[in-house]
């Protein structure tokens, strides 16, 4: 998952209520789930008369949708709040809200540290946002970090028209895995799968509005088991039913856990053409000793065997992963084992992080910390290896034909950007290109993080 990227939710057209529109600025941190949630919060505020703005200085309300995964991620929130202070002092009626995983984890504490915050809304309470904003208008400072029994998505307004050909769709939330280092089971709660019909309904509407690619989201998306009219649906069943929707060209899902990679999903990778040949399957470490201490409940060789099984059905599969270096007790040999696993698997793309102790997690109790300089050096070596593999994967595309889903205009005049089946950014030019076009392209060059293609 692409944490640590700070993205401003860009122009989602939203419904507007009566009166002059008020402006809402949302800043999104963390994973794709937060990106999806930010869109849904923007939509929830539409009927309240709020329109999105990219500029916090223009905003009547600023909402930070936060991430708690590593210390740096959590601290960003406080830095950003500090930067908002002059705005709030100049315009005391500016509303400032904190949403997302820091809100869930720290709740009231945020207001103690930053009294300028008007409301704190945890990740399961977004449907209550309009009511909370009204409470702020009435002079209150609401905090809601409940895990309510109802599904927040049932209480959010219908998704409005979109101008983008790709969409995220959350199908599962929460995590029961309790990896020793991770806050997600605490910030997002237990694993919950949304009912299959709701997802199918949402997908059908997205496609009717022009969406060509849907990425199914979940903290453990392949643990999806949702109630359907004819019983339990697995993720594979969901993928196969979605694939029947005319006009939907591509299906992706993220993020997955190796232990939830069931046979029917592996089979779908082999024979469902709309399921894209790109899989994000984090392993975290290549050392069995560290994997055990992390509570990952699988070994390195089991992971490698799993990858081989998936690749047997889909040989061109591009793999992506997440790694943590410097987990407490990680020895030089453990780290070498991680490098060895990376060499065996060969990733097209991967995220790697230095271990960050998170309050409340079991690993945070450990005293056998890896010195910072050792962890830094390991991270550098791992990133160098992963970088080489990513470049090799990009270079191997040169000369090949592939399909690109055009997403938006590029930075240069006449240029368009889209994604290959393998989720690589491709720049191209040509007649008839527009968002949503599926273009057949020959890749002519690979530069840094993108490919250049020519229309065939």
Cβ–Cβ < 8 Å for 381, 375: no
CA 172 to CA 195: how far, in whole Å?
A: 9
User: Per rule CB under 6 A, is residue 100 in the interface with ligand F3S?
Assistant: yes
Q: Is residue 448 classed exposed, middle or buried when 0-12, 13-18 and 19+ CB atoms within 10 A define those classes?
A: exposed
Q: What is the largest CA-CA distance in the chain?
A: 65
For position 358 contacting ligand F3S by CB under 6 A, the verdict is no
Instruction: Identify the helix (H) or strand (E) that includes residue 351.
Output: strand 349-354
Q: Does 286 bind ligand SAH (CB under 6 A)?
A: no
Compute the least distance from the CB of residue 385 to ligand F3S, in Å.
24
Cα–Cα distance, 382 to 160 (Å, whole number): 43
| From ligand SF4, ligand SAH, ligand F3S, none, interface partner of 207 (C-beta below 5 to 8 A by class) | none
Nearer to ligand SF4, 166 or 220 (CB): 220
Q: In the complex, what is the shortest distance from the CB of residue 363 to ligand SAH, in angstroms, rounded to a whole number?
A: 7
Check if the beta carbon of residue 424 is closer than 8 Å to that of residue 434. Answer: no
* Whole-angstrom distance, CA of residue 110 vs CA of residue 98: 8
Residue 57 burial (CB count, 10 A) = 13
State in angstroms the smallest separation of the CB of 148 from ligand F3S: 18
Site string for ligand SF4, 213-252 (x = CB under 6 A): ------xx--------------------------------
How far apart are alpha carbons 52 and 25 in whole angstroms? 6
Q: Does 187 bind ligand F3S (CB under 6 A)?
A: yes
**226-260 exposure pattern, b = at least 16 Cβ within 10 A, e = fewer:** bebeeeebbbbbbbbebbebeebbbbbbbbbbbbb
> How many angstroms separate the CA atoms of 225 and 176, rounded?
13
Size of interface with ligand SF4, in residues (CB under 6 A): 10
The residue among 211 and 382 lying less far from ligand SAH, judged by its C-beta, is 382
Q: Which of ligand F3S, ligand SAH, ligand SF4, none does residue 453 bind (CB under 5 to 8 Å by kind)? A: none
User: Under the criterion CB under 6 A, does residue 453 sit at the interface with ligand F3S?
Assistant: no
296 binds ligand SAH (CB under 6 A): no
Residues that bind ligand SF4 (CB under 6 A): 175, 177-179, 182, 184-185, 219-220, 257
Residues that bind ligand SAH (CB under 6 A): 1, 3, 69-70, 175, 181-182, 184, 219-220, 255, 257, 282, 284, 322, 324, 353, 355-356, 358
Residues that bind ligand F3S (CB under 6 A): 3, 30-31, 33-34, 67-69, 100-101, 183-184, 187-188, 219
């Amino acid at each position: 998952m692409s944490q640590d990227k700070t993205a401003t939710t860009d122009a989602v057209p939203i419904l507007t209520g009566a009166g002059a529109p008020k402006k809402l600025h949302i800043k999104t941190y963390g994973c794709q789930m937060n990106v999806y949630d930010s869109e849904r919060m923007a939509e929830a505020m539409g009927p309240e008369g709020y329109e999105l703005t990219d500029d916090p200085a223009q905003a009547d309300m600023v909402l930070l949708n936060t991430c708690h995964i590593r210390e740096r991620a959590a601290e960003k929130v406080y830095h950003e709040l500090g930067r908002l202070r002059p705005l709030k002092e100049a315009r005391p009626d500016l509303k400032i809200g904190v949403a997302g995983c820091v809100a869930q984890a720290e709740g009231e504490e945020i207001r103690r540290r930053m009294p300028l915050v008007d409301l704190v809304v945890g990740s399961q309470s977004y449907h209550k946002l309009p009511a909370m904003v009204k409470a702020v208008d009435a002079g209150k400072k609401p905090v809601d970090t409940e895990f309510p029994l109802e599904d927040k998505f049932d209480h959010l307004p219908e998704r409005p028209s979109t101008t983008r050909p790709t969409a995220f769709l959350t199908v599962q939330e929460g995590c029961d895995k309790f990896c020793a280092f991770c806050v997600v089971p605490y910030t997002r709660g237990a694993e919950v799968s949304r009912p299959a019909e709701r997802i199918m309904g949402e997908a059908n509407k997205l496609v009717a509005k022009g969406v060509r690619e849907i990425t199914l989201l979940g903290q453990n998306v392949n643990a999806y088991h949702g109630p359907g009219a004819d019983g339990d649906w697995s993720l594979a069943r969901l993928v196969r039913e979605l694939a029947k929707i005319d006009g939907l060209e591509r299906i992706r899902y993220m993020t997955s856990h190796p232990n939830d990679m069931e046979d029917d999903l592996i089979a779908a990778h082999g024979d469902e053409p709309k399921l894209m040949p790109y899989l994000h399957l984090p392993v975290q470490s290549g050392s069995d000793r560290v994997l055990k201490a992390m509570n990952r409940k699988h070994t390195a060789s089991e992971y490698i065997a799993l990858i081989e099984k998936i690749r047997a059905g889909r040989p061109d599969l591009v793999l992506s992963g997440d790694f943590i270096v410097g987990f407490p007790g990680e020895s030089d040999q453990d780290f070498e084992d991680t490098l060895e696993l990376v060499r065996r698997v060969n990733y097209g793309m991967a995220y790697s992080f230095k271990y960050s102790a998170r309050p409340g997690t079991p690993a945070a109790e450990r005293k056998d910390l890896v010195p910072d300089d050792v962890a830094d050096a390991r991270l550098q070596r791992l990133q160098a290896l992963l970088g080489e593999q990513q470049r090799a994967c990009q270079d191997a595309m040169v000369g090949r034909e592939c399909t690109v889903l055009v997403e938006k205009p590029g930075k240069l005049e006449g240029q368009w950007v889209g994604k290959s089946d393998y989720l690589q950014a491709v720049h191209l030019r040509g007649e008839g290109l527009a968002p949503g076009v599926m273009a057949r392209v020959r890749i002519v060059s690979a530069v840094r993080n993108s490919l250049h293609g020519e229309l065939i």
